[in-house]
Amino acid sequence: MRLTLVRHGETAYNRDGLGLGREDAQLTDLGLRQTAAAVERLSSEPPDHILTSPLTRAAAIARGLAERTGAPLEVREELTEMDVGETEGLPFAEMRARFPDFLQAWRQPDPAGVLMPGGESLAQVAARLEPLITELHALPDEHRVVAVSHNFVLRVLICRLLGLDIAAFRAFSVDLASVSTLSLRGEWVSLRSLNDRYHLP
């Protein structure tokens, strides 16, 4: 099974370096262009099924791809970005001033169990992704799935699919509107591309 993972385009929160989790932030003009470019790229190999976070910034790519290809679209709550709690909308300097204990814990080698202030942990994100991972492993080898989601969710999902500790999420990036692909055959998973951005303006 070919799994293509796509991160949403730019929002004002991304542009301005603000904490962003479950706020339904709108795409900037650049984000809209990134979305169009991602849809164009993905439509060259039409998927059998499209999964998306319910948040507008991700669903824009999924809906555009569904309209172009006719592939069925399914909104999946577990693909919603991690709940970043009280850090939502904060610049890093303010986050550092308000939550120094959290940031100290977050900087440890394994932050999987560290709760965002008033929000989720990476371990909780991984737990809600497990049923989806089971579904993906059960799909036929020839199936193609596109899943559109968010930074923390995609990095945790890649770690879990590859059998890596969640702490390995720091070893790679998943940039805005990037595309990563994996092949799943039974329990075997291989990474074919990571953080591919060549399609972007």
| Token pair listed for 109 | 């080698």
Q: With CA atoms as reference, report the closest residue to 145 among 7, 23, 3, 32.
A: 3
Q: Is residue 112 within 8 Å of 143, Cβ to Cβ?
A: no
Q: 192: which residues sit within 8 A by CB, 6+ positions away?
A: 181, 182, 183
Is-catalytic flag, 8?
yes
* C-alpha distances out from residue 85 to 59, 124, 136, 145, Å: 22, 14, 29, 30
Question: ∠ CA 80-82-87 to the nearest 5 degrees?
Answer: 130
Is-catalytic flag, 142?
no
Active-site residue (options: 8, 10, 88, 150): 8
Active-site residue (options: 10, 23, 81, 130): 81
Catalytic residues: 8, 81
